[in-house]
Amino acid sequence: MIALMAITLAGCSSAPPPPTPTPTPTAADGSSTHVIQAADGYAFSARVWRVDPKRVAIYLHEYRDDQTGWWPIATTVRRLPVSSITFDFRGHGTDEDNPDDVPGMVEDARAAVAFARAQGFDQIMLIGAGMGAAIAVQVAAEQDDLRVIGLSTPSAFDLLDTLAAMPRVAGRIALVATEDDLSAAHSLGALQAAGEVPEAYVRLYPGRAHGVDMLRPTGDEPGVALAFVNELMEEFSGQTTGVIR
């Protein structure tokens, strides 16, 4: 009897194993990781969300930022038939080297475009913020089949003369800034004139949000430029018609 009680008590005291926790979704879910090598041998990390085999948006981050800032935006594009690529410029993200090697970062962007082409993408949109927008304009000026959305695009950044490059991206660029981001607002007017950008592809919003922050929600309100960028992406995806295609 005592032995039977002991067995019974032992059975009652053993708790069921705890449930396996469900992994918390991250903004990078659904992406594949790649390493891209620039022409000078520098290798950098990239993520790819493959949705469409032909169309892709490549996101170029701001100075002192990294690709993770784009992930929530890049993943929302999956609702459209457009693939997404994000990457870290040299000196950014996990790379602790020189964050001011702007010519090297232009090489990184060129390599990202070459990588996209090698993956089979032949319709490519560059979406850049701040420094990333200046680099996007530079690379698009060299390759006349690239489109650009520039958020808070500076008229110049380090050695990059964005203003001088604008005539070479005419008809392939949209520009976005906010009124109280004074430098970006001033640059927007100059860049629009230099590239003869149609009014339909230029937006100057209230507020002081800069770069990717124009796409991020504030409280219950969506980012000020989110709807416009979504419209541009719908156009790029072929769902609507317009100039940037």
Three-class HEC string of 24-50: CCCCCCCCEEEEEECCCCCEEEEEEEC
* Token pair recorded at residue 47: 């993520």
Per residue in 195-204, pLDDT tens? 999 999 999 9
Residue 216 has pLDDT above 50, yes or no: yes
Per residue in 18-46, pLDDT tens? 444 444 445 677 899 999 999 999 999 99
Residue 150 has pLDDT above 70, yes or no: yes
Whether this model's pTM surpasses 0.75: yes
Torsion angles phi and psi, residue 224, rounded to 5: -60, -30
CA dihedral 245, 73, 176, 109 (to 10 degrees): -70
Structural contact between residues 67 and 61, judged by C-beta atoms closer than 8 angstroms? yes
Q: How far apart are CA 102 and CA 104, in angstroms?
A: 5
pLDDT at 19: 46
pLDDT at 26: 59
Structural contact between residues 214 and 176, judged by C-beta atoms closer than 8 angstroms? yes
26, amino acid identity:
T
Residue 185 has pLDDT above 60, yes or no: yes
DSSP run (H or E) holding 105: helix 102-118
Q: Which domains does the chain have, with CATH numbers?
A: 30-236 (3.40.50.1820)
Mean pLDDT of 224-240: 91
